Amino acid sequence: MKKILACFIAFCCVSIAQATEIAVVDFRAALLQSNIGQEAAKGPKQQVAQMDATLQQEQKALETSANELKRDELTLSQEEFQQRRQELAERQNRLRGMAANMQRQAKELEQELIESLTPTGEAALKSIIEERNLELVLNRQLSLYASAAADITDELVMRINKDN
């Protein structure tokens, strides 16, 4: 009797574990891949491209200055050479600061974009959860392994596109 009861309890536990519907989703990617995400990203992408173009111009100008300093090194006085080298180092530091600032601004623009799209994405995700009777949805980056069937990112993208 004890063995039968233990087997019954084990069977119930296995059945419960198998009945749990679990899915994974890359919510950020779904938002950015959706039609509204693509449309909303156009402005920030242009801003980042403009910042990148400015940064590249500054890098080229800095390289030109460095090459000129190498070329003129033997004709300059020690004092003038040191002064130009110091100016070059200061320009390099400003360029590094510009690059760091550009990266920070790009991240802020993306974060603002994600925040503006999140309510739409959450509504679409909620409808998928209800339709599929999901009991647990994990962020894909947090899971060690998930089969392709468990990943609902593409389904979320299609739902966002359909609803908007």
Segments making up each domain of the chain, as ranges: 2-163
| Tokens representing residue 61 in the block | 């100008």
Q: Is the pLDDT of residue 21 over 80?
A: yes
pLDDT at 16 over 70: no
Closest CA to 156 of 27, 48, 59, 37: 27
Give me the mean pLDDT over the 126-144 stretch.
92
6 band by pLDDT with thresholds 50, 70 and 90: very low
Angle at alpha carbon of residue 38, lines to 102 and 130, rounded to 5°: 120
Task: State the Cα–Cα distance between residues 22 and 150, nearest whole angstrom.
Answer: 7
Torsion of CA 112, 115, 117, 120, to 10 degrees: -170
Phi/psi region, residue 24 (left: phi>0; alpha: psi -120 to 50; beta: rest), is: beta
Tokens 């790009």 label which residue? 106
pLDDT at 12: 47
Tell me the C-alpha distance between 157 and 19, whole Å: 26
pLDDT of amino acid 9: 52
Whether residue 154 is predicted with pLDDT greater than 90 in this model: the reply is: yes
Residue 142 CA, distance from chain mean position: 15
Least confident of 11-15, 82-86, 111-115: 11-15
Can you give the pTM of this predicted structure? Answer: 0.69
Residue 143 confidence (pLDDT): 86
Q: Is the pLDDT of residue 60 over 70?
A: yes
Query: Contact 17/26 with Cβ under 8 angstroms?
Result: no
The alpha-helical segments, DSSP class H, found in 74-152 are: 78-132
